[in-house]
Amino acid sequence: MITALQTKKTLLSISVSLSLSALILTTSSPAYSAQQDSARKTPVITGSGGAVATINEHASQSAIDILNRGGNAIDAAVAAAATLGVTDPFSCGIGGGGFMLIYLAKENRFITLDHRETAPAGFRSDAFMRDGKAVAWEEAVNSGMSVGVPGTVRGWDEALTRYGRMSFKQVLAPAIQVAEKGFAVTPIFHHLNQGALEKFARYTSSSALYLHQGKALPVGFHFKNPDLANTYRLIAKAGVNGFYRGPMAHSIVQTVNQPPVKAGVQVVAGNMTSADLQNYEARWRLPVRSTYRGYDLVSMGLPSSGGITVAEALNILENFETKGMSRQQIEHLYIEAARLAFADRNAYLGDPEFVDVPLAGLLDKAYAKQRAAMIASDRAMSREVAAAAGDPYLFQNDVSVTLRPQPKPVQLQEERKHTTHLTVSDKDGNIVAYTYTIEDWGGNGMVVPGYGFLLNNELTDFDFTPPHPNIPEAGKRPRSSIAPFIAMKNGKPAFTIGSPGGSTIITTVLQSIVNYVDMQMPMPQAIAAPRLSERNEPKTQVEPSFMNSAQATGLERKGHSWYIDQSDPEIGAANALVFHADGTVTAVSETQRHGVGSAKVQRKAH
């Protein structure tokens, strides 16, 4: 049984949730505490010029270095992301994809870039079915079949070409240096490495890079990735075609279709072609816009469900006057609103190029009022069955809609949590909120031989069993939960927020906004508070420090009940920026989770 590590942070004067360091204490040596990491990192800082918040010190420094050399927020975001591909390879990298939200200050304009992975052209809708039944999730992940066509390098190229000031060569330089020089394996790196041990042990290339004598690299081990450094050099020299064409592309296809398994190991091969890579396109999409208690909120749209689901939940909450309410009452409303929004998310959302989604109805304030009427102030909704989806088609203002689907409650598709989020601003006021991923811990477990990066298992984000808006189809992008947000107030940036965490991304972002806006917590406290993640399940997932608290006891009287994911008790790893009226900015990262995050500014406030 994993127990909660209780400590106090002078910075926040709050009791903290179970630190991952406590989890590591139970699974590895040497002993480690969160205080050690917090002594090395600054998770909260205020200053001027540019600012950055990531989950890794090297990545945050890469962003600041690029800003100091004249790059803008877009350049710095790519530099930080490339470095995270070295330091946090089990969560992200060029073998995956993501969603980037950009604010261009001079034009007062928002840009959203979708470089989500796609299913290969030969992919079938029954790819994850056997004898009429869905295959086990673990079987699907550990296969070439789970790999979507990677979109990250194409996305970086699009962002830099259109809105950056620097070249690939310039922005990849910090990451190349980190990959070459290496770094000491941290407890969080070791923990994630340990979590993917069984996967990596299947493949020769993965074992060679991430295992030592058959075990996860130990804490303190000096890790280098010269193959990835050379891969970045190739991209710096040849550009986007260095990845999507030529020898590297051939190796990606070969890895997917002929996995580099050890003797005696069998996994299902994929069916990716060189044409799949050559034909991959990123998409510039319209942002999702909503409002909440005086803020204008902007986020990613489909195929990510995150922005829409958060916006719908906030629209539902806006029907309740939370001013003067107790924290317990607000959290009750937050849980119920999330439950209803997830019911709609699970029923309606998918890739907009394949599915007609009632987006206007889902985001309509009148629809939210209808959904809010289902919430009682004194008791939780019944958990005997999942909450039913509503009927947003009535609010579409589309007279052509006569026959509407009547979705039944569906079980939440498993969606692993290991992604990364970063946020950057520059001295000119441009902002990037960026989440990218390879999906599960270590993706599908396959390192592309000779190139030093892991491939994704993003196609397991499809719902395996038809009919459903999110079933697999050739060329389709699986539904995501990624939810980078930028909030505006009176026409000016107010804050950004985003997180990794699979489907818990949605609740982490939603709860952080509720904590900040409704409970008026400072952003560091809003992020650090114990998390509750309601996703229309029989019980609400919570972090260990919430259990047996006065808050938990009070909410239990209303009918709420809880569970902890014992294999991964933390929920999310958020990063944020807060913009102040005097022109300064506060960068905020996790003060406890994920081994403590890293916040930096170009000029520290005095």
Query: What is the rounded CA–CA span in Å between residue 200 and residue 130?
Result: 25
Which residue, among 190, 174, 191, has the nearest Cα to 223 in the 3D structure?
190
The label of the residue with tokens 């999906």 reads: 439
Q: Crossing angle, helix 327-348 and helix 365-372, to 10 degrees?
A: 120
- Read off the pLDDT of residues 386-412 as tens digits, 9 standing for 90 and up: 999 999 999 997 655 544 555 655 555
Per-residue pLDDT, averaged over 85-102, amounts to 98
Per-residue pLDDT, averaged over 130-152, amounts to 92
Which residue, among 58, 222, 79, 94, has the nearest Cα to 597 in the 3D structure?
58
259 upstream amide cis, omega within 30 of 0: no
Query: What is the rounded CA–CA span in Å between residue 114 and residue 155?
Result: 7
What Rg do the C-alpha atoms of the chain give, in angstroms? 22
pLDDT of 568? 87
For residue 216, the enclosing domain spans 8-283+418-523+569-604
Which helix (H) or strand (E) segment holds residue 495: the answer is strand 492-498
The burial of 382, by beta-carbon neighbours within 10 Å (0-12 exposed, 13-18 middle, 19 or more buried), is given as exposed
- Read off the pLDDT of residues 575-593 as tens digits, 9 standing for 90 and up: 999 999 999 999 999 998 9
Structural domain contains residue 38: yes
pLDDT of 401? 54
Structural domain contains residue 336: no
Query: What is the rounded CA–CA span in Å between residue 392 and residue 404?
Result: 10
Structural domain contains residue 390: no
Structure tokens at 216: 């996860």
Q: Crossing angle, helix 327-348 and helix 504-517, to 10 degrees?
A: 140
pLDDT of 492? 98
Which helix (H) or strand (E) segment holds residue 316: the answer is helix 306-317
Query: What is the rounded CA–CA span in Å between residue 448 and residue 454?
Result: 6
pTM here? 0.92
Which residue, among 53, 63, 57, 55, has the nearest Cα to 578 in the 3D structure?
53
- Read off the pLDDT of residues 284-330 as tens digits, 9 standing for 90 and up: 999 999 999 999 999 999 999 999 999 999 999 999 999 999 999 99
Catalogue the E-assigned strands of 179-250: 183-184, 211-212, 215-216, 222-223
Query: What is the rounded CA–CA span in Å between residue 256 and residue 217?
Result: 25
Structural domain contains residue 43: yes
Query: What is the rounded CA–CA span in Å between residue 592 and residue 22?
Result: 10
- The residues, any chain, with a CB within 8 Å of residue 417's CB and separated by 6 or more, are 500, 501, 502, 504, 568, 572
- Read off the pLDDT of residues 350-387 as tens digits, 9 standing for 90 and up: 999 999 999 999 999 999 999 999 999 999 999 889 99
Round the average pLDDT of the chain to a whole number and report it. 91
- Read off the pLDDT of residues 425-455 as tens digits, 9 standing for 90 and up: 999 999 999 999 999 989 999 999 999 999 9
Give the CA distances from residue 163 to residues 47, 286, 381, 436, in Å, rounded to whole numbers and listed in that order: 25, 16, 47, 19
Q: Is 419 a catalytic residue?
A: yes
Structural domain contains residue 440: yes
pLDDT of 399? 54
The label of the residue with tokens 């240096």 reads: 177
Structural domain contains residue 293: no
Percent of the chain surpassing pLDDT 70: 90
Structure tokens at 42: 């600054």
Residue 138 pLDDT grade (very low, low, confident, very high; cuts 50, 70, 90): confident
Structural domain contains residue 44: yes
Indicate the number of domains in the chain. 1
Structural domain contains residue 389: no
User: Which is catalytic among the residues 83, 231, 322, 419?
Assistant: 419
For the beta carbon of residue 395, count every other beta carbon within 10 angstroms: 19
Give the CA distances from residue 554 to residues 106, 450, 535, in Å, rounded to whole numbers and listed in that order: 48, 56, 20
Query: What is the rounded CA–CA span in Å between residue 137 and residue 159?
Result: 34
Q: What is the CATH number of the domain that holds 260?
A: 3.60.20.40
